[in-house]
Amino acid sequence: MGADMQDVPSVEAKGARIPLLGLGTWDLHGRVCARIVEQALRLGYRHVDTAEMYDNEREVGEGLRASGVKRNDAFVTTKIWPSHFAPLELERAARECLARLRLSEVDLLLLHWPNPQIPLAETLGALCKVKRDGLARHIGVSNFTVTLMDEALRLSSEPLVCNQFECHPFLDQSKLIAACRQHAMAVVAYSPIAKGSVRDDETLSRIGAARKKTAAQVCLRFLVQQNIVVIPRTSRVERLVENAAIFDFALRAEEMAAIAALARRDGRLVNSALFGQQKWD
């Protein structure tokens, strides 16, 4: 464990132990990506989030190896892009992810977005087979609605351990969070600091000021205090440290309520219409 960080706690979901803090890597490339992954792991991060669509799995793998952290001590997530959801395609895509990462298995393999063009039963059948074949220790979904999650759970012969979706104080995701809890699935929050925009929020800054914490730290604390896994992305080492210093303080109930009240109708940042989905429930 790096000298700068305490041990990161984990959540348990259907046999998976997922570190509550991970490093997001969307839009990180080349040496910047490899170095920030290496630095994060050296500092004590134990969870890295990538995807075939991010086009950086090679660099994520490089960073992992350069960090010296043992393979079993790091939790690596990748995701299959919806255009690869036909069964044979999915298996091929998963093998290609592993080849780029230079790993024999990932800890968690997710369906990146729902794809209404391909029957979910077929895609899940292939995802379960990939798990049984030892390419992924755990499997799950991302950007699935409550209804789609229910359907996926019904169709899957292997446990689905999480749903990864946009989650931060400016967006009310209470229904989706409740559905995950009901199914004993972990919630993994992407864009957990609303793509950096929380830094300008007065409520978060005010709550942080008394504890010498930044708005981003208060925001991340708000999520991990609800056992929600967070995967903030940064390209800067000083922010790696900042985003990890969230386990040495607690928010009071009235502060949690004040932060929850920041949700607004136009709070969503990531477009859900990408694959023909009309609405989120």
**87 binding ligand NAP? (CB under 6 A):** no
The residue (of 5 and 193) whose beta carbon lies closer to ligand NAP is 193
Tell me if 75 contacts ligand NAP by CB under 6 A: no
| Closest to ligand NAP by CB, 6 or 157 | 6
- When asked if residue 227 is in the footprint of ligand NAP (CB under 6 A), the reply is no
CA–CA dist 50, 124 (Å, integer)? 20
Tell me how crowded residue 115 is: count the other CB atoms within 10 A of its CB: 21
Distance CA 86, CA 120 (A): 9
54 is an active site residue: yes
Q: Residue 115, interface with ligand NAP (CB under 6 A)?
A: no
Convert residues 29-68 into a mask of x (bound to ligand NAP by CB under 6 A) and - (unbound). --------------------x-------------------
18 binds ligand NAP (CB under 6 A): no
Q: Least CB distance from residue 110 to ligand NAP, whole Å? A: 7
* 204 touches ligand NAP by CB under 6 A: no
Site string for ligand NAP, 259-278 (x = CB under 6 A): -----------x--------
DSSP-assigned states of every residue in 142-164? ES--HHHHHHHHHH-SS-EEEEE
> In the set 194, 207, 224, 251, which binds ligand NAP (CB under 6 A)?
194
Q: Which residue is nearest to ligand NAP (CB)?
A: 24
Q: Which residues contact 211 (CB under 8 A, 6 or more apart)?
A: 249
Q: Which of the following is catalytic: 37, 39, 54, 94? A: 54
Task: Name which position in 45, 78, 232, 259 contacts ligand NAP (CB under 6 A).
Answer: 232
- Residue 27: which residues within 8 A CB-CB, separation 6 or more? 54, 233
Least Å distance, CB 236 to ligand NAP, is 5
Catalytic machinery residues: 54
Q: Footprint of ligand NAP on this chain (CB under 6 A)? A: 24-26, 49, 112, 142-143, 164, 190-196, 199, 216, 231-236, 239, 242-243, 270
